[in-house]
Chain A
Amino acid sequence: MMEADFILAGVGGQGIILAGDILAGVGLQAGSDVKKSEVHGMAQRGGVVTSHVRWGRRVRSPLAEPGRVGFLVGFEALEAARAASYLRPGGLAVVNRYRLPPPAVTAGEAVYPADDQVAAAIQSRGAALEWVPAQEEALRLGNPAVAGVYLLGWLSGAGVLGQAVAEETWVDVLEGLVPPAHRDLNRLAFRQARAARTA
Chain B
Amino acid sequence: MSDASKVLLSGNEAVALGAFEAGVRVAAAYPGTPSTEILENLAAYPGVDCEWSSNEKVALDVAIGAAYAGRRALAVMKHVGLNVAADSLFYAAYTGLGGGGLVVAVADDPGMHSSQNEQDTRQYARFARVPLLEPADSAEARGYVEEAFRLGERFDTPVLLRLTTRIAHSRGPVRVEDPSPLGGRGRPAVRDPRPVPDPHHRSAREALAALANDPGKYVMIPGNARGRHPVVENRLARIAEWAETCSLNRVESGGGSLGVVSAGVAYQYAREVLDDASFLKLGVVWPLATGLLRAFAAGVDRLLVVEELDPFLEEALSLMGLKVEGKRYFPLAGELDPATVRRGAAQAGLLTSEGEPEAVPGLPPRPPVLCPGCGHRPVFYALRRLGAVVFGDIGCYTLGALPPLSALHTCGCMGAGLGNLQGALKALAGEEEGEMEGTRGRPVAVIGDSTFFHAGLPALANLAYNQGGGLVVILDNRTTAMTGHQDHPGTGRTLAGEPGPALDAASVARSLGVEQVTTLDPYDLEGFVAVARGYMTSGRPAVIVARHRCVLQARERRPAVTAVAEACNGCGVCLRLGCPPLVREGSVVRVEAALCTGCGVCAAVCPRSALLAEGAIPS
Contacts and interface: CB of A to CB of B under 8 A. Distances in A.
Interface stretch (B120-128, B366-374, B466-474, B533-541): B366-374
A111 B364 contact: yes
Contacts of A60: 268-269, 271-272
Interface string A35-49: 111111111111110
A86 B181 CA distance: 37
Most buried by B among A45, A67, A121: A45
A47 B366 contact: yes
Contacts of B358: 85
A102 B583 CA distance: 10
Contact of A34 (B172, B337, B362, B369): B172
B479 interface: no
Given A61-B269, A62-B268, A28 B366 contact: no
B584 A108 contact: yes
Contacts of B399: 45
B357 A102 contact: no
B113 interface: yes
Given A62-B268, A67-B356, A85-B357, A28 B166 contact: no
Nearest to B186: A21
Contacts of A112: 364
B580 A106 contact: yes
Interface of A: 1, 11-12, 21, 24-25, 28-31, 33-48, 59-67, 78-79, 81-82, 84-87, 101-108, 110-113, 121, 125, 176-177
B580 A45 contact: no
B113 A103 contact: no
Contacts of A125: 357
B2 A31 contact: yes
B119 interface: no
Given A21-B171, A176-B184, A102 B365 contact: yes
A40 B368 contact: no
Interface string B1-29: 11100101000000000000000000000
Contact of A41 (B34, B173, B363): B34
B368 to A, nearest CB: 4
Contact of B368 (A34, A42, A78, A107): A42
A110 B364 contact: yes
20 contacts: A28-B2, A28-B173, A34-B171, A36-B170, A36-B171, A37-B169, A40-B33, A41-B483, A42-B113, A46-B580, A48-B366, A62-B166, A62-B265, A63-B269, A81-B363, A82-B359, A85-B357, A86-B357, A103-B367, A112-B364
B140 to A, nearest CB: 13
Given A25-B8, A85-B357, A46 B368 contact: yes
Contact of A177 (B3, B184, B272): B184
B71 interface: no
A58 to B, nearest CB: 9
Nearest to B575: A107
Given A45-B396, A102-B366, A39 B113 contact: yes
B359 A65 contact: no
A-B residue pairs, 6 tightest by C-beta:
A41-B114, A62-B170, A47-B368, A45-B368, A108-B584, A110-B364
Nearest to A121: B360
Interface in B363-421: 363-371, 396, 399, 404
B340 to A, nearest CB: 10
Query: Looking at chain B, what size class is its interface with the partner chain?
Result: 35 or more
Interface string B429-467: 000000000000000000000000000000000000000
Contacts of B333: none
Interface string B218-261: 00000000000000000000000000000000000000000000
A40 B173 contact: no
Given A62-B172, A177-B185, A79 B366 contact: yes
Contact of B583 (A34, A48, A106): A106
B496 interface: no
Contact of A106 (B8, B338, B356, B584): B584
Contacts of B545: none
Nearest to B399: A45
B582 interface: yes
A7 B338 CA distance: 15
Contacts of A84: 360
Contacts of B478: none
Nearest to B269: A61
B79 interface: no
Contacts of B357: 66-67, 85-87, 125
Nearest to B576: A107
Given A78-B364, A102-B364, A30 B371 contact: no
B371 to A, nearest CB: 7
